[in-house]
């Protein structure tokens, strides 16, 4: 019975253009049945109430409502996040940027015996929570401007030790200026003119404050460059995600100022330009 439910749901989602129809159907059914995905094949057949609930969720996913909004959960590296309307759903590719920040934090901790990490535009708190989880002893700070996203971050970062603030990254953490080892940021970076090309899951459900950043998509990146230069100690590092079409233009925001060295770009697992890193001179 469950096998046919999954087959029918996957066909429906495939017809709607969902990128991973079979897996989405499996995740939704596992959610409805209250079992882990790996144990779905062992689960009892869905009863009438569960089949009705599953059909409702499949219909919403068919309309391209994000899968994570339907289950209320997103996994990011080794941490679980609560997500829903009003907060940007963390993407798997951002885990690479978080991994880079975690490696840099471990290096600073080994060299200095302490480390300060700042996550700007934290959204759900994904990167900040991952750093706190994987670098015990790190002093992690995070900021989010959008009130709704900040409430999600409060929920996700409760008990993590991360110091969360509500505010604009442009003037966040002035009390930490010159003391930070790693600044990490997943800023908005989509050009306004690219509206139609954005996937419906993001365009219609993610906060626009987390998506769009001026005509060229680099307004937030320029603000980040200026703020990171003040926050970091000499030799400190900044890392920031960007669109795959910004593999040259985003790093240029840093390299053209003359403040930074070791400016380089990094690909994601699909070979697309994904995030930049730079080291403050001095």
Known binding residues for S-adenosyl-L-methionine: 144, 186
Annotated binding site: 144, 186-189
- The Cβ-side half-sphere exposure at 6, using a 13 Å CA radius, reads 22
Report which of 30, 26, 132 is spatially closest to residue 76, judged by C-alpha positions. Answer: 132
Question: Cα 197 to the chain's mean position, in Å?
Answer: 20
**Cα dist from 82 to 11, 167, 209, 223, 263, whole Å:** 28, 21, 19, 28, 34
* Bridge partners (DSSP) listed for residue 237: 182, 279
Residues placed in the known binding site for substrate: 186-189
Q: How far is CA 7 from the centre of its chain?
A: 31
Kindly list the distances between the CA atom of residue 30 and the CA atoms of 16, 33, 40, 209, in Å, as whole numbers in the listed order.
21, 5, 6, 32
């Amino acid at each position: 019975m469950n096998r046919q439910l999954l087959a029918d749901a996957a066909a429906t989602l495939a017809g709607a253009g969902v990128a991973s129809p079979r897996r989405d159907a499996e995740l939704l059914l596992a959610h409805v049945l209250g079992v882990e995905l790996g144990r779905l094949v062992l689960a009892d057949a869905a009863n009438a109430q569960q089949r009705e609930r599953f059909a409702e969720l499949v219909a919403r996913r068919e309309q391209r409502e994000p899968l994570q909004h339907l289950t209320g959960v997103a996994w990011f590296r080794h941490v679980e996040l609560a997500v829903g309307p009003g907060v940007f759903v963390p993407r798997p590719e951002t885990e690479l940027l978080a991994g880079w920040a975690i490696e840099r934090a471990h290096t600073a901790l080994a060299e200095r015996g302490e480390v300060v990490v700042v996550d700007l535009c934290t959204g759900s708190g994904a990167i900040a929570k991952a750093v706190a989880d994987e670098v015990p002893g790190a002093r992690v700070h995070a900021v989010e401007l959008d009130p709704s996203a900040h409430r999600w971050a409060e929920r996700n970062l409760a008990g993590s030790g991360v110091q969360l603030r509500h505010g604009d990254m442009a003037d966040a953490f002035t009390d930490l200026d010159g003391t930070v080892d790693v600044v990490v940021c997943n800023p908005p970076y989509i050009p306004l003119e690219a509206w139609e090309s954005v996937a419906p899951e993001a365009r219609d459900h993610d906060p626009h404050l987390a998506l769009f950043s001026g005509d060229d998509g680099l307004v937030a990146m320029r603000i980040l460059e200026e703020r990171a230069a003040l926050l970091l100690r000499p030799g400190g590092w900044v890392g920031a995600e960007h669109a795959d079409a910004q593999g040259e233009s985003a790093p240029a925001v840093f390299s053209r100022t003359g403040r930074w060295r070791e400016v380089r770009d990094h690909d994601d697992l699909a070979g697309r330009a994904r995030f930049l890193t730079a080291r403050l001179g001095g």
